[in-house]
Amino acid sequence: MFQSFKAKTRPEDGAPRLAALRGAMHAAGVDAFLVPRADRFQGEYVAACDERLAWLTGFTGSAGFAAILADRAGVFVDGRYRVQVRAQSDMAVFQPVDWPETALEDWMIDAMPQGGVLGYDPWLHSAAEIARLDKALAPRQISLQPVDNLVDTIWTDRPDPPMAPATAWPVSYAGRTADEKLGQIAEILAKAGDDAALITQPDSLCWLLNLRGGDVSHTPLLHAMGIMRRDGRLDLFVAAEKLAAVALPPAVTPHPPEALAQMLAAQTGQIRIDPLSAPQAAKAILAASPATITEASDPCLLPKARKHPAEIAATTAAHLRDGAAMARFLCWFDQEAPKGQLTEIDCVRALEGFRRDTGALAEISFDTIAGAGANGAIVHYRVTEDSNAPVTPGSLFLIDSGGQYADGTTDITRTLAVGDTAPDEARAAFTQVLQGMIAIHRARFPKGVAGAHLDALARAPLWAAGRDFDHGTGHGVGVYLGVHEGPQRISRVSSIALEPGMILSNEPGYYREGAFGIRIENLIVVTPAPALPGGDARAMLCFETLTWAPIDRRLVVAEMLAPWERDWLNSYHAGVLAKIGPALDTTTREWLSRACAPI
């Protein structure tokens, strides 16, 4: 299996490791030290050798960081992880901090003495983060001190860096050759007046060069950085062993990763860095070079986000294949779950098996979230052998999963009734979540609208009932790349205008700690909206659906739905039956016909 159910960390390891880190801090002459989740590529998903936050604190979530002082140790997590961190970290020595409600700089001002020294590894923090901290802490005369990574000095059995080989991604899926993309990015730099750009995010380079790798679990990333020139040349910093099976374009010159610092120090002209992703160490090296630094976004971000029609066609095929696997799983679940013999791990194994049966599964796109009953309220719950809970008739079961296929990346969540009954309160909340999801699916909006403008549509039915959820409504998604991909989002903090070709998730939810969790998720793609009679001449956008799988009608309170919501659900289910049904065996097709019946 791609997913392991072994617990990766133990809360009891936290205290001795924290004590060892404090000893290293004392030896380094710093009063505090930052331990981020991110690696030097600012990635959400990191290699085993970069799991420093999990190794120290026990917390395995995909976002967060720790601030360690002699007398306190804060673990900063957002709303997705506040239940999880309390279960995974030793609460006797670690203090959960609600973030971003509590900013790191505010917490540090309260925690550190005036004149204190805050140590950090400059390769693991972005230039923007360090600039913000420095500005906020300077009035208290708290200084930021770059140091060698102190966790690495005490992590005696730290795994080796990954060395997975790179593979070529077909142009038939990409739609454009690497040479064409290099030319496109060169034009962007030339138009901006930049002589070069430092590219530090592996997914940008994978997109740019039509390459995929295997340096982290579940996401086909090749760990590399690059310096892109306005004349179309690219200096690529990557371990040579990873390139043995691929041919690079003539404009690309490979170098060992350790050569990056030396080349940065020798730069001249105007060099672009993205302060949100470039390591502070790289900015500091450039600042001491003859080059002039400009700060702007990674030039690959928006071109990568605007999917080529070939990419949309490829991922559409992947989603139909994945939808058939989901239908087989949901049919199996309805047959087996009411017997009361299933566990969360049984369900994860079964779903991965149905995806493997397609013959096209390269990987899962993330560890499947399979939460029975109260575990469903842990937004990014990962089942282990220790936490494995029974799937109990009469309760809810939340399953959030996805597949990595060579032609696309999928991400789907369904909340299911175990048997034919569910608590009335849960059904009402489920229907409110569904109403928010439908509102996003039906949205029409003019060009220039960002995710922040749409986010409230998904929350309005919950807000009306005094409820909400503590995560964004949607994230960007790649094509056989990151299941979480920026810069586009549907979130109250996203100012990025949505453009045709951008793929997003649509996943409102509701979570009752200790009782149940609800989330319904489809992937959607931004597309030009057809003109409407009586409308004005302005260009409008809408969403097309990529994900096709039934939504559990047993959890829908039909009387709560407006006529247009009922029509959307019935139309969606008709589409599921038409698109997925022909690929199914007779038993599953008959089940799907019942599951997609109109309400």
SS3 115: coil
Which distant-in-sequence residues (6+ apart) come within 8 Å of 564 by Cβ? Answer: 442
Q: CA–CA distance from 557 to each of 234, 428, 434, 435, 512 (Å)?
A: 56, 6, 10, 11, 19
Cβ(485)–Cβ(305) under 8 Å? yes
Give dist(CA 189, CA 272) in Å, integer.
8
List the alpha helices (DSSP H) in 337-423. Answer: 344-356
Give dist(CA 588, CA 324) in Å, integer.
9
Residues of the chain scoring pLDDT < 50: none
Catalogue all structural domains in the chain, each as residue range(s) with its CATH number.
Answer: 11-154 (3.40.350.10), 167-298 (3.40.350.10), 306-556 (3.90.230.10)
Query: Which value, to the nearest 10 degrees, does the dihedral of the CA atoms of residues 311, 314, 315, 318 take?
Result: -170
- What digits encode the pLDDT tens for the residues 235-251? 999 999 999 999 999 99
Place of tokens 């390459």: 211
Give dist(CA 398, CA 414) in Å, integer.
6
Q: How far is CA 522 from the centre of its chain?
A: 15
Number of other CB atoms surrounding residue 385 within 10 Å: 11
Query: Looking at beta carbons, which pairs linking 214-218 to residues 24 or more positions away fall under 8 Å?
Result: 214/162, 214/164, 214/165, 215/47, 215/162, 215/164, 216/43, 216/45, 216/46, 216/47, 216/162, 217/2, 217/45, 217/363, 218/2, 218/45, 218/363, 218/364, 218/365, 218/366, 218/367, 218/404, 218/483
Residue 83's pLDDT is what? 85
Give dist(CA 366, CA 377) in Å, integer.
18
For the chain, the distance separating the N- and C-terminal CA atoms, rounded to the nearest angstrom, is 38
Give dist(CA 453, CA 262) in Å, integer.
44
Give the angle subtended at the CA of 354 by the CAs of 349 and 358, to the nearest 5°. 140
Which distant-in-sequence residues (6+ apart) come within 8 Å of 7 by Cβ? Answer: 384, 385, 386, 387
Strand pairing of 117-120 and 95-98? Answer: unpaired
Task: Extract the tokens encoding 574.
Answer: 């008709």
Give the angle subtended at the CA of 37 by the CAs of 34 and 39, to the nearest 5°. 95
Give dist(CA 31, CA 116) in Å, integer.
6
Q: CA–CA distance from 89 to each of 22, 122, 158, 178, 457 (Å)?
A: 17, 26, 20, 44, 35
On whether the pTM is more than 0.75, the answer is yes
Task: Extract the tokens encoding 479.
Answer: 């094509």
SS3 288: coil
Residue type at position 332:
W
The closest of 595, 366, 348, 333 to 478, measured between CA atoms, is: 366
Q: CA–CA distance from 291 to each of 60, 186, 288, 404, 560 (Å)?
A: 39, 18, 8, 40, 62
Q: Environment class of residue 335 by beta-carbon count within 10 Å: exposed (0-12), middle (13-18) or buried (19+)?
A: exposed
Residue type at position 240:
A
Place of tokens 């604190």: 57
SS3 531: coil
Q: CA–CA distance from 346 to each of 384, 388, 400 (Å)?
A: 11, 9, 15
Give dist(CA 241, CA 225) in Å, integer.
15
Residue 1's pLDDT is what? 87
